[in-house]
Amino acid sequence: GVLHLGSFYPRSGVYGRLLLAGPSDRAQVALTFDDGPDPLTTPQVLKVLARFEVRATFFVIGARAAQHPQLLAQLVQAGHQVENHSYQHAWLTAFVPRWRLAAQLQQTSQLIVKATGRAPRFFRAPIGILSPEVVAAAKRASLQLCGWSVKARDGWSGTTPAQAVQRLLAGARPGAILLLHDAAESQATDRSESAPSVARIAPAVLEQLLPELKRRGLQAVTLDTLLAK
């Protein structure tokens, strides 16, 4: 029971400290995206963010970063933050030996540095599943574990933009970390172009979400900005 709690309910803190929210004394939320970069969706997301003058944080998969380094460069050039989301995004990441997982995290970090000139600060575990191996590997790779306050579930087949927006707004309060996806989940290789079963709805979600956040007086920012003292 304790192992299950620590793995699938990381808020429990059984395996280690996890960033779930930022300070609540400023009217800011962190907008984060997982599973990219995607050559189709990521540029669309960038266009919407630019139109609303919003900066966000992208947790990228190393295998995809290796295939699309120019997208990582575009993210940083546009003022966004790039962080580590593992190399392969495997469902069994939590059971990979810590030395091997640490090497994979370091490989992803090196790809990020090469493409952006900036070392990542955070690691978000695939599917958010933690284990002693994940916690130890992140420490070896000099990465801080990052979770989220509320997720859109936009990576789920059947989720509509309206449903995703409703979920995010329900948890959008000062200091919240919002989770969306700019790509479909995959393992090992970039199969985003051949995964039509999962709709790429993030751009449509942003079209509804960003004006509503502004109406509520909440500024969407990067994680670094959210956490700045």
How does DSSP assign 56-84, residue by residue? -EEEE-HHHHHH-HHHHHHHHHTT-EEEE
Tokens read off for 110: 């090196």
Token pair 């958010």 is found at 128
Which residue's entry shows tokens 């789920």? Answer: 156
Q: Is 34 a catalytic residue?
A: yes
Q: Which residue in the block uniquely carries the two structure tokens 């070392």?
A: 119
Give the separation between CA 227 and CA 30, rounded to whole angstroms: 9
| Structure tokens belonging to residue 73 | 């460069």
Instruction: Report the alpha-carbon distance of residue 140 to residue 99 in Å, rounded.
Output: 8
Q: Is 181 a catalytic residue?
A: yes
CB 180 within 8 A of CB 224: no
Per annotation, catalytic residue among 85, 181, 182, 190 = 181
Nearest to 32 by CA among 83, 92, 68: 83
Contact of 213 with 67, CB cutoff 8 Å = no
What sign results for the dihedral spanned by CA atoms 64, 30, 151, 94? positive
DSSP, res 34: E
Q: CB 113: neighbour CB atoms within 10 A?
A: 14
**Residues facing residue 31 across a β-bridge:** 178
Active site residues: 34, 181
